[in-house]
A = this chain, B = another copy of it.
Amino acid sequence: MEVVFDASVYIQRRNKLKSSIGSGQLLLMGNQESSINFKDNWYHFRQDSTFLYYAGINKPNVHVIIDIDNDTTVLYGDELTIDDIVWTGPLPSNQDLADQVGITHCKPLSDLTKDIRTEVLYLPPYRPEHHILLSGLIGIDTTKAGQSYSLRFVHAVINQRNIKEEREIIEMGRAVNHSYDMHNAVMKAARSGMYESDLVGIASAVAHHHQVPFSYPAILTKRGEVLHNHDHSGFLSDGDMVLYDGGCESRSGYAGDITRTFPIGGKWQPLQKDLYDVVHQAYHKSVKAMRPDAFFKDIHLLACKTLAEGLKEVGFMKGDPDDAVANGAHTMFFQCGLGHMIGLDVHDMENLGEQNVGYSQEIEKSNEFGLKSLRLGRRLQSGYTVTVEPGIYIIPALIELRKSQGMYKDFINYDFLEQHASFGGIRIEDNFLITDTGSSLLGEENIAPRTSKEVEDFMNQFS
């Protein structure tokens, strides 16, 4: 991956960061290659997103120190030897790359230890190599390196990265459109007699066609109620409903994060359609409600209420939907959050702390079941980019647990629910930019089918 933007972009970003923090020495740690089953067999390289944002250089084992007091920015990394070039072919030097991102000084890696000060500010490490690096650089125990990061640095980065630049929004649209391409290819190809893995393969071929990696491991399953499901061994038959949560990156590293749910054979079963329409209603109301200054937590609760209303109509719930949500009864069906920040990371900046990214001094993250899985609660601002992803998930283990605990008896029709315990899961997810007046969909509006009818019509074109 090339440097994406002009040098002036990275210079401006660093200047803003410097003035926001005021003084001190800032360490931006680049990522290293990640070993699979022996040292030199590597997973695909992914640069740290904050490093990409401020330093733009997409190669392993380089780091940057911004010294605010002395107004210097230095790239640390080792150049290829002629021996290396025989194996890798000619590659741009670190100095060439530094020039492209407006960094004037390059030094070998060994100078990092010399130049770093013990009071250097750094961000929370999330890879074990970063714990070891920090331990070596500032003599801190590897197990403690994760705790002594700079919260001031964290907030400065979040405040900057949370508000997307125009050029970032264009890149995010590309990531979403590529992700829609994957979804449409999967829906077009899906047939009885395939395995889930065959469809993941089709998505992967589309991502390769765009020369980008998945932004996260694909969830593609007829057991959509298993929320962290990365198994793809299921065999598909007519009548099965497939939940596909998959996205890929733009070439610039921005993430798409899209979910569609569709019926194998191209025709919804009646209950599938009913519950799909309930989820779509929650999606629709949530999207309409997003605007600057609205708490995303309130939009999440609006989605919960909309789901509860629909689930009552279908027969799964009873009682007053407001009371049901106040009592948490909707978490029998919607155990997770309505959405999260998205950007260079699919859960944008999650390594900087969920409370820091998704909440604020105004609003703390809850510990309640359901709300504790809501990654984003804070007031929306123009320039935020977020996912909206309501769903209905019928989880046999949870029904059994809650029934045995005697919970939600006034709101849940357990008999009806148990009859449909093997129903599965539905989710609809798109990505949005918060605008001055509301929100706008990232990517092209009419590429991907979304309503139950659109999904059927789309699939029937190819059946």
Partner of A35, one of B88, B127, B227, B346: B127
**A356 nearest CB across to chain B (Å):** 13
Partner of A37, one of B46, B135, B142, B401: B46
Determine whether A298 belongs to the interface, using a CB cutoff of 8 Å to chain B. Answer: no
Q: Mark A323-355, 1 if CB is under 8 A from B, else 0.
A: 000000000000100000000111101110000
Residue on B with the closest CB to A215? Answer: B41
B38 in contact with A351 (CB, 8 Å): yes
Q: Which of A215-239 contact B (CB under 8 A)?
A: 216-217, 223, 225-229, 232-233
Q: Which of A1-54 contact B (CB under 8 A)?
A: 31, 34-44, 46, 48-49
Give the distance in Å from the alpha carbon of A143 to the alpha carbon of B228 in the complex.
Answer: 35
Partner of A217, one of B42, B49, B128: B42
Residue on B with the closest CB to A83? Answer: B369
B126 in contact with A128 (CB, 8 Å): no
A90 in contact with B132 (CB, 8 Å): no
A335 in contact with B86 (CB, 8 Å): yes
Partner of A211, one of B37, B206, B233: B233
Determine whether A87 belongs to the interface, using a CB cutoff of 8 Å to chain B. Answer: yes
Residue on B with the closest CB to A129? Answer: B128
**A112 nearest CB across to chain B (Å):** 15
Report B-chain residues with C-beta under 8 Å of the C-beta of A86.
227, 335, 395, 397-398, 401
Give the distance in Å from the alpha carbon of A181 to the alpha carbon of B222 in the complex.
Answer: 27
Give the distance in Å from the alpha carbon of A176 to the alpha carbon of B37 in the complex.
Answer: 19
Report B-chain residues with C-beta under 8 Å of the C-beta of A202.
205
Determine whether A406 belongs to the interface, using a CB cutoff of 8 Å to chain B. Answer: no
A39 in contact with B351 (CB, 8 Å): yes
Determine whether A106 belongs to the interface, using a CB cutoff of 8 Å to chain B. Answer: no
Report B-chain residues with C-beta under 8 Å of the C-beta of A131.
128, 132
Determine whether A414 belongs to the interface, using a CB cutoff of 8 Å to chain B. Answer: no
Determine whether A200 belongs to the interface, using a CB cutoff of 8 Å to chain B. Answer: yes
B44 in contact with A217 (CB, 8 Å): yes
Give the distance in Å from the alpha carbon of A371 to the alpha carbon of B253 in the complex.
Answer: 39
A208 in contact with B217 (CB, 8 Å): no
B226 in contact with A88 (CB, 8 Å): yes
Report B-chain residues with C-beta under 8 Å of the C-beta of A232.
208, 211
Determine whether A261 belongs to the interface, using a CB cutoff of 8 Å to chain B. Answer: no
A126 in contact with B35 (CB, 8 Å): yes
For A44, A208, A217, A346, which residue has the most chain B Cβ atoms within 10 angstroms? A208
Determine whether A167 belongs to the interface, using a CB cutoff of 8 Å to chain B. Answer: no
Determine whether A89 belongs to the interface, using a CB cutoff of 8 Å to chain B. Answer: yes
Determine whether A204 belongs to the interface, using a CB cutoff of 8 Å to chain B. Answer: yes
Give the distance in Å from the alpha carbon of A44 to the alpha carbon of B35 in the complex.
Answer: 12
B41 in contact with A43 (CB, 8 Å): no
Determine whether A201 belongs to the interface, using a CB cutoff of 8 Å to chain B. Answer: yes
Report B-chain residues with C-beta under 8 Å of the C-beta of A87.
226-228, 335
Known A127-B128, A207-B201; judge A89-B345 contact (CB<8 A): no
Report B-chain residues with C-beta under 8 Å of the C-beta of A90.
397
Residue on B with the closest CB to A45? Answer: B230
Partner of A200, one of B89, B126, B143, B208: B208
Known A85-B397, A87-B228; judge A351-B37 contact (CB<8 A): yes
B397 in contact with A228 (CB, 8 Å): no
Give the distance in Å from the alpha carbon of A395 to the alpha carbon of B200 in the complex.
Answer: 37
Report B-chain residues with C-beta under 8 Å of the C-beta of A216.
36, 41
Known A88-B228, A132-B142, A398-B86; judge A347-B38 contact (CB<8 A): yes
Report B-chain residues with C-beta under 8 Å of the C-beta of A48.
37
Which 10 pairs of residues, A with B, have the shortest CB-CB distance? A201-B208, A201-B205, A128-B128, A89-B226, A38-B351, A38-B350, A128-B129, A43-B43, A204-B204, A39-B126
Contact sample, A vs B, 8 pairs, CB 8 Å cutoff? A35-B127, A36-B216, A38-B349, A41-B216, A43-B43, A89-B225, A195-B209, A211-B233
